[in-house]
Amino acid sequence: MTGAASGIGLGIARALVARGARVALADWDGDKVTAAAAELGAAGGSVVAIELDVSAEDHWADAADRAEAALGPVSILVNNAGVISAAPLTETTFESWRRHFTVNVDGQFLGTSVFLPRFLERGGRAHILNTASMGGLMPVPGVGAYSASKFASVGLSLALREELRDTGVRVSVLCPGTVSTGMTAAEATSEHPAGANADRVGEQVVEAMEAGCFVIPTHPDFEPNVTKLHREIEQALRDTDDRHGPDPSVQLMLGGVDPVDRML
C-alpha cells in the first residue's frame, strides 16, 4: 500500500489490519512510515514498513520483493500515494504539472505493472485499488493539474477493469471528497471543517472492496455536479449525427468484439 504513512492510506491500512490482513506500508517518508508500522504492530498487526518513491521505476520491484519476503504473496495492491498543489492552470509550471502526473498516475501504473503479472501468474483472487478523487469525475478549478491527473487515474482504472474482466483480479477506484488529513485539519474552521474521518473512509473502502464495488465515492453530495457533466456529454452525443461517416468500431464493441484486436 502506497501513501500509507498517514491520511487515507493509513486509514485503509488500519481497516485491513483489523480484518487480519498482513500489510506492507510504503511511503516516501521513511520515518513516518516506520512510525505507522510500529503503531499497527503494537496493535497486533502483521506489518512491514518500506520506504518507496512511487515515481522511481527502478525501486518498485525491490519494494515488491521485500514486501512479499516479509509477509508472503501480496493479493491486494492499494495505489494511494498522491500529491496536490493549488494553482490555476495559467500559473502552473511544467515541473508542477509533471510532478502531479509522475506521482498520481505513473506511480499507479508502475505499481500495477509490477504486481499484476504476479497476480495473474498465481491465479486466484486479487484486487487493485487506485485512489483518484472527485476531481477525477468533475472539473475542479484552481487545482487543474491535480484534477487532470485524477481523471487519468479514473481512466487507468476503467481500462484495467475491462482488460481484467475474465480474470480473478478485481479493480476499484476510490474517489474521495475532502478527507481530514494533517494538512486539512490544520486549516479547518467551524465554517469549513477538515472533512471526512480518514479511519472511517478506510473502513468504507475495505467494505466496498469486499462487496466488489468499482467506483467508491465518499461524499454523495457531489452527485449533482457529476450528473451535470455527464448530462452535458450525453446531450452532445444526442445532438451529433454520422455526417462524417459511421464508426464500425462501435458495432464491434456492442457485439463484444475488441475493435483493436480486429484492426491488428
Report pLDDT for 191: 56
Report pLDDT for 190: 53
Catalytic pick among 128, 146, 149, 180: 146
pLDDT band at 214 (very low <50, low <70, confident <90, very high): very high
Nearest to 239 by CA among 249, 227, 231: 231
Condensed to tens digits (0 to 9), the pLDDT of residues 49-86 reads 999 999 999 999 999 999 999 999 999 999 999 999 99
Find the mean pLDDT for residues 112-127. Answer: 98
Query: What is the pTM (predicted TM-score) of this model?
Result: 0.93
Condensed to tens digits (0 to 9), the pLDDT of residues 5-16 reads 999 999 999 999
Question: Which sign, positive or negative, has the C-alpha torsion 247, 253, 257, 263?
Answer: positive
Q: Provide the percentage of residues in the chain whose pLDDT is more than 70.
A: 94
Q: Is 184 a catalytic residue?
A: no
